[in-house]
Amino acid sequence: MDQQVTVVDHPLVQHKLTLMREKDTSTASFRQLLREISLLLAYEVTRGLDLTTKRIETPLCEMDAPILEGKKLALISILRAGNGLLDGILELIPAARVGFVGLYRDPETLQPVQYYCKVPAELEDRMVIVVDPMLATGNSSVAAVQLMKDKGAKNIRFLCLLAAPEGIARMRAAHPDVPIVTAAIDSHLNDHGYIVPGLGDAGDRMFGTK
Ligand code: URA
């Protein structure tokens, strides 16, 4: 396996993902599971954060204790489904800065077009984690990562829940410097761009819009 693609095979992640895939799982349960699973995925995607040490005093003695170095990391949610991953990650990293990217697909060119972008300042000095639950065709994810690079980001990771081989290949080709963390790599995309076996439309399932 490509070192830049990490499948989080922890039993809790896999168990929760199975419950999310089931078509009869309610919106409330889906949301709750997504919150729990995103916390576990966040743990994995932040593994490479830099540490420094700080001189502190415990009740017993002084010590040089590890502490995160540098600016707060930036979480970038691709609207709208990315927001479902955001909540759990923010529970783990409450001080993270948050940005949003909105993209729609031009019906004629089929290319992603930006309709919203608001991101934290000084992206060049932060670890930037772009989040979207589904890496399907990769079109919007690749465009969102490019947008972050255009704004100066240099240390970018991509976090998703499910990935299709097609999306991974597209992301690796466009952004070989961006590690991908996912809970599973599924079989393929169907003719409508849905991941198979997948879990359906992640946005509809988390927001109850279908
Ligand atoms: N987006 C989704 O929500 N689901 C898919 O299967 C693919 C893209």
60 inside domain: no
The DSSP secondary structure of 103-117, one letter per residue, reads: EEE-TTT--EEEEEE
Residue 34, domain extent: 5-49+70-207
Testing ligand 1's pocket by substitution, the residue of 30, 192, 194, 209 carrying the most ligand atoms inside 8 A of its CB is 194
Q: Are 185 and 168 in contact, with CB atoms under 8 Å apart?
A: yes
Which pLDDT score, from 0 to 100, does residue 43 have? 93
Which pLDDT score, from 0 to 100, does residue 40 have? 95
d(CA 36, CA 208): 18
Beta bridge partners of 157: 129
Q: Are 31 and 16 in contact, with CB atoms under 8 Å apart?
A: no
Testing ligand 1's pocket by substitution, the residue of 201, 204, 205, 206 carrying the most ligand atoms inside 8 A of its CB is 201
Which pLDDT score, from 0 to 100, does residue 70 have? 87
21 inside domain: yes
d(CA 15, CA 33): 10
Instruction: Answer yes or no: is the C-beta of 202 below 6 A from any ligand 1 atom.
Output: yes
d(CA 177, CA 205): 31
119 inside domain: yes
59 inside domain: no
Please give the structure tokens belonging to residue 50.
Answer: 């830099």
| Mean pLDDT, residues 15-33 taken together | 97
pLDDT single digits (tens) 154-201: 999 999 999 999 999 999 999 999 999 999 999 999 999 999 999 999
Instruction: Answer yes or no: is the C-beta of 181 below 6 A from any ligand 1 atom.
Output: no
Annotated binding site: 80, 105, 132-140, 195, 200-202
Tell me the CATH number at 194. Answer: 3.40.50.2020
- 98: CA distance to ligand 1 center in Å? 23
The DSSP secondary structure of 156-188, one letter per residue, reads: EEEE-SEE-HHHHHHHHHH-TTS-EEESEE-SE
- 22: CA distance to ligand 1 center in Å? 15
d(CA 25, CA 23): 6
Annotated binding site for 5-phospho-alpha-D-ribose 1-diphosphate: 80, 105, 132-140, 201
pLDDT class for 2, splitting at 50, 70, 90? low
Instruction: Answer yes or no: is the C-beta of 168 below 6 A from any ligand 1 atom.
Output: no
- 72: CA distance to ligand 1 center in Å? 30
28 inside domain: yes
End-to-end CA distance of the chain: 36
Number of domains in the chain: 1
36 inside domain: yes
Q: How far is CA 198 from CA 17, 21, 140, in A?
A: 10, 7, 18
Indicate which residues carry an active-site annotation: 105, 109, 201, 204
187 inside domain: yes
d(CA 116, CA 26): 30
CA 84 to chain centre: 10
Residue with the two structure tokens 């079989």: 187
pLDDT class for 66, splitting at 50, 70, 90? very high
54 inside domain: no
